[in-house]
Amino acid sequence: MRAAWSKLLRQCGALVLLGLKDTGLHRLEDTGLHRLEDTGLHRLEDNCPDKNTVHFTPMAIERTFAMVKPDGVRRGLVGEIISRLEKKGFKVVQLKMLTPSRELVEEHYAEHKGKGFFAGLVDFLSGGAVVAMELEGENVIAEWRRMMGATRPWESAPGTIRFEFATTVDENVAHGSDSPDSAARELGIWFR
């Protein structure tokens, strides 16, 4: 990344990328962005044809379903999780707190019906309040899943929600849709 950043700065002239000259920031890392994709740029080439302007190719705006599970609500983590989402630049389009019915949870996790863990999962999720959210933002489906971390907390990267807050694979604090199709399906179930 450092080499790509240096090349882009050489192409564009220092401090014009992202309006950095107006912010007192001098490096990509100073912006809180650590990957080229975070800037909205997809290619370094041809971004600065006149050496004074950076041309951005915006990433797709997506919507997804996110949930703080009963263990996260019970432990008072809702504010922390929403704060992280908003700091990342995601918009909370809809939000509601509810104790879901068994039927709602069974519909949500229908693809797991018949598996050994299904009954316990339904009991857990319908056994307490959850916070259901519709999120909007660039690449929000993949980014929210990255922010959550791996399903098994011990496999999650440091800094992720599950690394920091999950206690077991069953009580892993949060849920996020894994694809545009599942996002549409889950949003339809939770926000009818």
Which residues participate in catalysis according to the annotation? 175
- The encoded tokens of residue 187 equal 């949003």
- Give the largest Cα separation in the chain, rounded: 61
Report yes or no: 137 and 61 within 8 Å, Cβ to Cβ. yes
Can you tell me the distance from the alpha carbon of 161 to that of 163, in angstroms, rounded to the nearest whole number? 6
Residue 94 is classified by DSSP as E
**Number of C-beta neighbours around residue 122 at 10 A:** 20
| Neighbouring residues of 18: CB distance < 8 A, sequence distance ≥ 6 | 31, 39, 54
Residue identified by tokens 């704060």 is 83
Residue among 192, 72, 187, 59 at smallest CA distance from 135: 187
Task: Give the CA-trace dihedral at 189, 129, 172, 144, to 10 degrees.
Answer: 50
